[in-house]
Amino acid sequence: MNKLNTKDFISIGVFNAIFLVLFLFIFFTVGLIPIVSLFTSAFVALVSGAIFLLMAYKISKPGLFLISSILQSIIFLLLGGFNFFMLLFTGFLIIGGLLAEAASWMGRYRSLFGWGAGYVLYMGGITAGFWAPLYWWKDKFKQLFSEIALLESITGLFVAAIMMITVVAAIAGIAIGQKLVNRHLKKSGLIHTPASKHSFIRNK
């Protein structure tokens, strides 16, 4: 299996830059509406699925998700600071990257199912990185963010519901990405989809 080269690293950087711009845009727009802001991770999962799928099609090599999680963790730490919350968040993000890498490896980096499962796990890591620490260490966060009344209502069931909604949104995001690949990029020759016995969403 081919190793990542300089061109691949540049491509990973470009795709991750696009992801981060979308993430921050959604965070600072959706986040303005209190109720809707609860589903920020789901919005990100839905919109970003196409980006990750296109990146997977273009590179199709080991390290894609793990490197992405490390790059994003560095950026988030630089933006949010090296505090308790951000360290927990980026820790979960990297765990998500490792799990996504494992799923892609099981699909030999040529399976749409492997990429789709990897993306779901990746977004699960991001979602868990935000909500799980707020639930597990609620008292700690009350000291840091005493003005956030939402902390009082966070329960295990609440976190599980947000996780499930994000999973559904991630699957939908991959479905949208696959339609984009089939209808536009594949026909134009910009993306060459690898042959695989496994399909996450059947091509039409």
For residue 1, being part of any structural domain is answered with no
DSSP string, 22-76: HHHHHHHHHTTSHHHHTTHHHHHHHHHHHHHHHHHHHH--TTHHHHHHHHHHHHH
User: What global pTM score does this model have?
Assistant: 0.81
Stronger pLDDT, 187 or 68, i.e. the higher one: 68
Q: Show the domain range for 177.
A: 6-188
Q: Quote the CA–CA distance of 34 and 172 in Å, as a whole number.
A: 24
Number of domains within the chain = 1
How confident is the model over 150-175, as a mean pLDDT? 84
pLDDT grade, residue 194 (50/70/90)? low
Which of 80-89, 139-148, 154-163 shows the lowest mean pLDDT across its residues? Answer: 139-148
For residue 199, being part of any structural domain is answered with no
Please name the residues in contact with 28: beta carbons below 8 A apart, sequence gap of 6 or more. Answer: none
At 181 the pLDDT is: 79
Phi, psi values for residue 165, rounded to 5°: -65, -40
For residue 204, being part of any structural domain is answered with no
For residue 196, being part of any structural domain is answered with no
For residue 85, being part of any structural domain is answered with yes
For residue 201, being part of any structural domain is answered with no
For residue 144, being part of any structural domain is answered with yes
For residue 23, being part of any structural domain is answered with yes
Q: Give which of 10, 196, 7 is closest to 107, Cα–Cα.
A: 196
Give pLDDT tens digits for 140-157: 665 555 445 555 666 778
